[in-house]
Amino acid sequence: MASAALQLGHGTGADAARAEVDAYFAALQQKSLLRFLTCGSVDDGKSTLVGRLLYDAHLLLEDQLSALEKESAKAGNAGGEIDFSLLVDGLAAEREQGITIDVAYRFFATDRRKFIIADTPGHEQYTRNMATGASTADLAIILIDARKGVLPQTRRHSFLVHLLGIRHVVVAVNKMDLVDYDRAVFDRIVADYRTLADAVGIAEFTAIPVAAKGGDNVAARSEAMPWYGGPALLDHLETVPLDAAGAGIAPFRMAVQWVNRPDQDFRGYAGTVASGRVRAGDIVAILPSGRTTRIERIVTAAGDLAEAVAGQAVTLTLADEVDCSRGDMIAAAGAATVAGALDARLVWMAEEKLEPHRAYWLKTGAQTVSATITVGAVIDIHGGADKAGPQLALNDIGKVRIALDRRIAATGYADNRALGGFILIDKATHATVAAGMIGGFPSAGALDAHVERIFWVAGEARAEALRARFAAQGRAAFILTEAALRDGLCSDLGTGDTAELTRRAAEVARLMSATGVTIIAAVPIAKGVAIPGSLVGFDAAGEALGDEWVI
């Protein structure tokens, strides 16, 4: 457990140093990276536990230790002993308040792994920070104060850990010293937690009794709890299997971040492989267009690669001159869905509430599109019944349906965390207002609440006929024609620019339908543009049917 640093320093001189460092780095090369999250309520001992891990991993340097001793004496809240929690406090303003109010990242390494800790606050209103820390974590440590047992907040933390797709859960029952290291207390808490885990969907967890302050079962097994047969916390963190190998099973997917064109002869697509593996010669699809081509080269500064796997940042060249730009996805056949609408879970992160008919920017992978959100339900994470929308407030979690202004390549969050997650951005303030996890893809026609008020009709004659039919039912309808749009709103567009015309028509229809008006859009539907509502007089491929009088 001790840092390999301690085994160094025997040799002297350049050659000895080189040999030692080479050996040390060879060992380091085998090291993997584990990102984990700590969550608990205020005063459960998170800061103490993290400080203790840093201390026990010999990460603290002499001057940090002496500063810590001084600060401990000054703060005076650990009775003359070292207060490890002081190690992990940060911003001055927060320190004055005495609580941690954001995500802080800490680093330490042992002989087996490098660790990045996302330290997030326990206060109930800070769901947003926990979701942030959890989004990149492989493992979560959920702290429970042995004297208090499972609390409503424990459920909240566990729910979020599950929602954000963290597969490894550790339940650290802390302050065992204050319950006389009593096995019965621990067993009761574990049983309570199992009930909770079942309810929120966590299938597996590892429970460890600890006393962060004294270091019991933190870096080494505690003599005070001989009844506990499992590993110490650090041991578990060092050995829990990581699923980097998952790269072997998942299909290849990569979002194109940047098109690299230094000159006429080179055109490369730069991105990070999100899943699977890719080899030169592989047949791939460019999404959303669906064109297929072959991988020609995998270019890196260190030379071409024969193969790249999930996590690697690469530049791909393609065998054919296909259209491919930032935001597109290069993927194995069938590896992603092309959709104009999404079903998702949303964590609302802004003070300002979600406005159902307002459009937000949605960023997923390397693409940013305009999105409108319909809240199906607000989830009660304490296990009560879901509430109805239509709004989401700060720290609410909603089940939502999202209509996009165009079709994009996307993946479910359960399939891939890197591509299945998205953020929503306020178009006016540019703030990141929500984080979402794609759950599924609603079929066209079930798009959103406006469907039954928007009709895309092929040809103005059909439009008139439909309006007459609605009038007979006593329902007023408005016909949106291409000519009317071209006169005003779209006067800046050329005749070839039907994609933009369709997009604007769709936005106008959406806005008007939100006020309760029925819209009959007699506007051409450009390929690839997602439109709300239902089609009249078109075939399944969106081509106008020959017979004008099908209605």
Ligand X SMILES: Nc1nc2c(ncn2[C@@H]2O[C@H](COP(=O)(O)OP(=O)(O)O)[C@@H](O)[C@H]2O)c(=O)[nH]1
**Taking CB within 5 to 8 Å according to partner kind, which of another protein, ligand X, none is near residue 85?**
ligand X
In the stretch 251-290, what mask flags binding to ligand X with x, by CB under 6 A?
----------------------------------------
Alpha-carbon gap, residue 340 to 323, rounded angstroms:
20
**Taking CB within 5 to 8 Å according to partner kind, which of ligand X, another protein, none is near residue 213?**
ligand X
Three-state DSSP class for residue 193: helix
C-beta of residue 170 within 8 angstroms of C-beta of residue 206: yes
**Taking CB within 5 to 8 Å according to partner kind, which of ligand X, another protein, none is near residue 180?**
none
At its nearest, how many Å lie between ligand X and the CB of residue 56? 13
At its nearest, how many Å lie between another protein and the CB of residue 314? 9
**Taking CB within 5 to 8 Å according to partner kind, which of another protein, ligand X, none is near residue 46?**
ligand X
At its nearest, how many Å lie between ligand X and the CB of residue 138? 21
Total number of residues binding ligand X (CB under 6 A)?
19
Residue 27 one-letter amino acid: A
- Out of 35, 57, 85, 418, the residue judged to bind ligand X by CB under 6 A: 85
What stretch of H or E contains 51?
A: helix 46-56
Three-state DSSP class for residue 291: strand
At its nearest, how many Å lie between another protein and the CB of residue 440? 19
R_g over Cα of the chain = 28
User: Is 174 near ligand X (CB under 6 A)?
Assistant: yes
C-beta of residue 217 within 8 angstroms of C-beta of residue 146: no
At its nearest, how many Å lie between ligand X and the CB of residue 215? 9
User: Is 370 near another protein (CB under 8 A)?
Assistant: no
C-beta of residue 4 within 8 angstroms of C-beta of residue 111: yes
C-beta of residue 232 within 8 angstroms of C-beta of residue 218: yes
User: Is 78 near ligand X (CB under 6 A)?
Assistant: yes
**Taking CB within 5 to 8 Å according to partner kind, which of another protein, ligand X, none is near residue 212?**
ligand X
Please choose, out of 20-28, 76-84, 167-175, 502-510, the segment that lies near another protein by the rule CB under 8 A: 20-28
Environment class of 148 (CB within 10 Å of its CB; exposed 0-12, middle 13-18, buried 19+): middle
Alpha-carbon gap, residue 514 to 454, rounded angstroms:
10
**Taking CB within 5 to 8 Å according to partner kind, which of another protein, ligand X, none is near residue 105?**
another protein
Residues 325-354 that bind another protein (CB under 8 A): 326, 349
Residues 186-205 that bind another protein (CB under 8 A): none
Two tokens at 82? Answer: 């070292």
At its nearest, how many Å lie between another protein and the CB of residue 432? 4
Of 150, 186, 344, which is closest to residue 158 (Cα–Cα)?
A: 150
C-beta of residue 86 within 8 angstroms of C-beta of residue 75: yes
Give the residue carrying structure tokens 């800070």: 126
C-beta of residue 173 within 8 angstroms of C-beta of residue 186: yes
- Out of 1, 4, 24, 43, the residue judged to bind ligand X by CB under 6 A: 43
In the stretch 45-64, what mask flags binding to ligand X with x, by CB under 6 A?
xxxx----------------
What is the side-by-side order of every strand in the sheet holding 477-481? 477-481, 518-522, 454-457, 534-536
**Taking CB within 5 to 8 Å according to partner kind, which of another protein, ligand X, none is near residue 31?**
another protein
User: Is 131 near another protein (CB under 8 A)?
Assistant: yes
- Out of 2, 73, 191, 244, the residue judged to bind another protein by CB under 8 A: 244
Residues 342-381 that bind ligand X (CB under 6 A): none
In the stretch 288-327, what mask flags binding to another protein with x, by CB under 8 A?
-----------xxxx----x-x-xxx-x----------x-
Classify residue 292 by its DSSP letter: E
User: Is 29 near another protein (CB under 8 A)?
Assistant: yes
Alpha-carbon gap, residue 200 to 163, rounded angstroms:
9
Question: Which of left, alpha, beta for 83 (phi over 0: left; psi -120 to 50: alpha)?
Answer: beta
Cis peptide before 121 (omega within 30 of 0): no
Residue ranges binding ligand X (CB under 6 A) = 40, 42-48, 77-78, 85, 122, 174-175, 177-178, 211-213
